[in-house]
Every structure is written in structure tokens, then in C-alpha cells.
Chains A and B, each alone.
Chain A
Amino acid sequence: MNDLPAPFQPTLGLVFWTLIVFVLLLIVLTKYIFPTLVQMTVDRENAIKQQMADAAQMRAESAAALEEQRQLLASARGEALAIVAEAREAADRERSIAVEKTRLEQEELLARARREIGAERERAVADIRREAVDIAISAAAKVVGARLDVAADRKIVEEYIASIAGGARG
């Protein structure tokens, strides 16, 4: 047996050597060996991380787009309602204008008809009156057997008829 202690008695020299060997091995493995072996997994991990980040971003974007669409829809609906209301108002206005115009036209037509009827009646009354004067003078001339002064008699008859008409009207 040599002069070194049994395995139960640690020596500082071996502690030192272990630290050196382990640290060197750690450096070599970390720098040159492990990257090749774990690269695929690390790449996959990074790809998944990236995909998750992308998915989160896309979700946020689509949520924003959805909100925008919703707002657009709401504003479009508002606009449509406004347009319909405006159209209805315009239609109402147009209709009332048309109704008013028709009413005015009708009234005018009516007034004209009345005026024409009145004028016709006046003319008819005047004709009847002239006929009546002529008949009355003719009858009176027959009665008295003489020719009456046409102009003077006519005046008398006409005044008389007028008085009758006035009395009848009155």
C-alpha cells in the first residue's frame, strides 16, 4: 500500500484537480459539443416561442380588426338610419308640397268654374230680361194699338223689371 490516505480521507490536491478538470470539461462541452446536440431542440423551442408570439400578435390584430369592423358596422347602421330618416322626411315634405299644390289647383279650378257659371247665369238673366222687355212692349203695343216710343217705353219696362227683380232678390 502507498502512503496516500484511504478513500475516506480527501486530499486538497484532488479537490483542486477535480475542480480544474470539471470546469475545463464544462467549458469545452458548453462551447463546442452541446450546441450541436441540442441545436435542433433549441431551434424548435425558439420556433415554437416565435410562433406563439406571432399567434398572440395575430390574435391581438384580429381582435383590433374585429373591433374596428364592429365600429364601422355601428357607424354604417347609424348612417343608414339617418339616410332613411332623411329620405322619409324628404318624401313627407314632397308629398305635403304635392298635396298643397293639388289643393290650390283644385280651388283655382273651382273658383274659375264658379266664376264662369256666374257669368253664364248673368248673361242668361240679361238675355231673359231683354226678351221679357221685348215681349212686354210688344204685348202693350198690341193692347194700346199704337206704336209706342220704343226707347222711352223700353226704359220704363226695364226699370219695372229691375224693380221686380230687386223685389224678388230682396
Chain B
Amino acid sequence: MIQHTQGPAEQFNIGEMIFHHTGDAHELDFQPLITIELPRFAPVHVGPLSIDLSPTKHVVFMLLAAAIIITVLKIAGNGVRKAYALGQAPRGFAGAMEALVLWVRQDIAMESIGHESGAKYAPLIMTFFFFILVCNLLGLLPWGASPTGNLAVTGALGLIAFGAIEIGGMRKLGFKGYMGTIFPHIEGLPPAGAMALSIFMAPIEILSKFVKPFAFMVRLFGNMTAGHFVILTMFGIVFLFGHFGFVSWALGVTSAVVVLAVMGLELLVAFLQAYVFALLAAVFIGLMQHEH
């Protein structure tokens, strides 16, 4: 992950190093081996917006994540199919992947959304889980980067979750039923009072609809970025105190041990955040589907 070989501490800027590694870039940095420049396109203008569609480091790593997911699950799928064709239960890697996929499908998607709509939304929840998981894990590899440590990526994922929750809810509940989620039906009040309170509640309900994807975006981004920041800071210590003689050795070993521990924690966080994102998306979709 750390390939910086800057010299003395005077020239080393830990903040710059951290941003360089967590930020997006127009090149793939495999220092000291190679740096690959990515193509640049002219920005596309949509109304007042200027969108730069040039592929970046995070785009490449997202594509890599997608390729890894497709390959791994395809191999597992073949193993599963072969095993069932022989009348056996899948074993080893195929069995483990089948168990993981089924766990996401049954225990996260179906359990939270309900069996009626669950099967329809299960692929989305499973894709959320595996995409986020692999994106998270890619950041832990040498020269790797976590697209999920970028607000644009987590924002887009939040947007997809928002679409699934709201559009799915609209399709399930119909226009009138969906409006009921904005203007809640309040019981135990005279009609005029209930209506006034319902209108009063509407802005809060609308706000809560947007808070959910916003929380998705910030939670995933925060968790992934924070982990990387901690790891890079710990590594930065090595460079900061590199010229301190004997102390630098002690610090180097200490920081390496701490980084190793934090890496272990990050491994857990990678799974946990994928689980949390998938679970909350499923829960919110389920809540919307069963809204009355």
C-alpha cells in the first residue's frame, strides 16, 4: 500500500501522502515499478454542470472489483452446478461461496424485505454486498485503492439504494399509498387536527427519506477512509522518524505491528460495512414495502 520512498522527514508531508493514497487520480500508481496514465476526455456539459467522464483510479478499481466478483462467483457457480449434477453438496470454495451468497440472500435480503418481495430485491442486495466487500478489500492490497473510500462512489451507491427504496415503494404502494409515507395518517385526532399535523410532518418525512441515503454515503465513506487514514498515519510515522537512529527502528517495528493489527481490524470492517450497507438497504426497502 505504501510505496513512497521520499527521503528525509523535512521533505515528507504526511497529509499529502494520505490524500494521495486515499484520493482519486488520473493515473494508476504502481511505484516504484510503473505509473500508468489514464486517458483524459474533455468534460461533458449538461446544463450548468460540467462532468469529467475521464476514467480514474477508482473507476479502474471498481471495474476490477466487478471483474473479480463475476470471476469468483462464476467459478463458484460452476463448482456448485457440477456438485449438484453429481448429486452431492458443493464442497470447498464453491460450497463456501454458495453459503455466503445464500446467507446474504436468505438472512439479509429475504429476512428483512419479506418473502413476497424479497426474491425480487435479493439480487440488488447481494450485488451491494459483494461490490462493497470487494471494493473495501481492494484497498487493503498493496498498490490497491478503495473506491468505497470516495464520497462520489458511496454517494452513487446511496443514490441506488434511495432509488430502490423510493421507486420500489412507489410501485408497491401506488401513488396514494406512497403519498401516505410523506403525509402520515395520524390517528386519535379530530380530522382537522390530523390533517394539520400530517402536513406539518411532511417536511420531516421528506427529510428522513433523504437522510437515509446520506447516512449510507457518509457511513461507508467514513469507515473506509478512517481505516486507511489510521494505517497511513501509522506508516507515516516510520518516514517522519526515519532519521532518528535507533529510535527509528523501534518506531518502525511498533508502527508495523500497529498497522498489522489495524489491517486485521480493517479486514473485519470491510466485511462489516458491506454487511451493514446491505442489511440497512434491505431493511429500508422492507419497511417501505410494508408501509401502510
Contacts and interface: CB of A to CB of B under 8 A. Distances in A.
B53 A37 contact: no
Interface string B64-85: 0010011001101110110010
Given A26-B127, A40-B84, A12 B51 contact: yes
A5 interface: yes
A1 B16 contact: yes
Given A7-B24, A36-B80, A18 B147 contact: yes
A38 B101 contact: yes
Contacts, number: 139
Contact of A22 (B27, B54, B123, B160): B160
A4 interface: yes
B220 to A, nearest CB: 12
Interface in B8-46: 16, 19-20, 22-27
Contacts of B213: none
Contacts of B291: none
B284 to A, nearest CB: 17
Interface string B151-166: 1110111011000000
Contacts of A41: 102, 105-106
A41 B109 CA distance: 14
Interface residues of B, number: 58
Contacts of B127: 22, 25-26, 29-30
Contacts of A9: 151
Main secondary structure of the interface of B (DSSP, over half): helix
Interface string A18-57: 1101111110111011101110111000000000000000
Given A7-B151, A15-B156, A19-B156, A25 B131 contact: yes
Contacts of B178: none
A40 B156 CA distance: 33
Given A5-B23, A26-B124, A36-B81, A10 B74 contact: no
A6 interface: yes
Contacts of B269: none
B15 to A, nearest CB: 10
Contact of B23 (A4, A22, A37): A4
B49 A14 contact: no
Contacts of A33: 70, 73-74, 77
Contacts of B105: 38, 41
B193 interface: no
Interface of A: 1-2, 4-19, 21-26, 28-30, 32-34, 36-38, 40-42
